[in-house]
C-alpha cells in the first residue's frame, strides 16, 4: 500500500471563476456608479456572494489521502449508489458484469478518480443526448466516455462518465496505453452526472443501493 496527498481548486473551474468574478465586478461597479439604493446594493451583494460561493463549492477538490490497494476497487466519484445489478456489457467486454452506478448531484465534488491502477486498454468518447442521469437509457444514449483499465493481475475494469440533464461537458485526462494510478484524476463532469463501473461477476461488492460514497476513499468492491 502507498499513500499520497491530493489537493487543489480544480483547474476546470478557472474560467468559470474568472467569468463570475468579472460579472460580480461589473454589476457592483454599475450599482455604485449610478448610486443605486441601499436595498438594491444589498441584493447585489447577496447575489454576488451566492454566485462566488457556488462556483468555489462546485469546483472544490478537498484534501484526500489516497490509499492504493490492488485488492480493492475505489469509488470513482462522490455521490450516491443508485444501481447494483448484473448486466451485459456490450461495448467492449461483451460479457456479464456487475454494474455499480454512482449518481453525482450538483452539490457533490465532480472530480472523477481511477478506481484501479493499471494500463488503459480502451478509451472512447461518445457524443449523445442529455437525459437525466438516472434514466435507464442514459448509459447508452447520453454523452459519455468509456474507459477500460487492465490491472497488474490482468483484470479489466470498465467505467463510464455519463452526462446528465444539466451536464454539458465531460472532460477526460486519459488515453489508450497510458499507465494510471488508483485514486488519481481521470476526468471531470460539470453539474449533475453519473459514473458506472462494470466489475467481474466474482467481485465482492462492498456497498448497497442508497449508500453515500466518496471518491478515492470509499471501497466499492474487493477482488
Task: Tell me the pLDDT tens digit for each residue of 169-192.
Answer: 788 999 999 999 999 999 988 766
Under 8 Å between Cβ of 183 and 114 = yes
Cell numbers standing for residue 160: 463510464
What's the full length of the chain, in residues? 223
Cite the active site residues: 193
What is the reported pTM?
0.80
- CA 161/CA 126 separation, integer angstroms: 10
Contact 73, 102 (CB under 8 A): no
10 Å Cβ neighbour count for 113?
Answer: 27
User: Where do runs of H (alpha helix) occur along the chain?
Assistant: 14-33, 38-58, 138-141
State which of 17-26, 112-121, 165-174, 181-190 shows the largest mean pLDDT: 112-121
DSSP3 helix / strand / coil % (the chain, rounded to 5): 20, 40, 40
Amino acid at each position: 500500500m502507498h499513500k499520497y496527498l491530493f489537493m487543489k481548486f480544480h483547474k476546470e473551474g478557472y474560467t468559470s471563476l474568472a467569468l463570475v468574478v468579472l460579472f460580480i465586478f461589473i454589476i457592483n461597479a454599475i450599482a455604485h456608479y449610478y448610486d443605486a439604493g441601499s436595498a438594491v446594493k444589498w441584493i447585489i451583494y447577496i447575489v454576488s456572494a451566492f454566485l462566488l460561493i457556488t462556483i468555489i463549492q462546485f469546483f472544490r477538490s478537498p484534501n484526500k489521502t489516497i490509499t492504493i490497494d490492488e485488492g480493492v476497487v475505489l469509488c470513482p466519484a462522490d455521490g450516491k449508489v443508485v444501481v447494483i445489478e448484473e448486466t451485459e456489457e456490450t461495448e467492449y467486454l461483451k460479457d456479464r458484469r456487475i454494474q455499480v452506478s454512482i449518481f453525482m448531484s450538483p452539490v457533490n465534488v465532480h472530480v472523477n478518480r481511477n478506481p484501479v491502477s493499471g494500463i488503459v486498454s480502451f478509451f472512447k468518447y461518445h457524443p449523445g443526448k442529455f437525459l437525466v442521469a438516472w434514466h435507464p437509457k442514459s448509459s447508452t444514449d447520453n454523452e459519455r466516455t468509456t474507459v477500460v483499465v487492465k490491472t497488474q493481475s490482468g483484470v479489466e475494469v470498465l467505467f463510464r462518465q455519463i452526462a446528465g440533464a444539466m451536464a454539458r461537458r465531460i472532460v477526460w485526462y486519459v488515453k489508450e496505453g497510458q499507465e494510471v494510478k488508483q485514486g488519481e484524476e481521470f476526468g471531470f463532469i460539470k453539474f449533475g452526472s453519473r459514473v458506472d463501473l462494470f466489475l467481474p461477476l466474482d467481485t465482492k461488492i462492498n456497498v448497497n443501493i442508497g449508500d453515500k460514497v466518496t471518491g478515492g476513499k470509499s471501497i466499492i468492491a474487493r477482488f
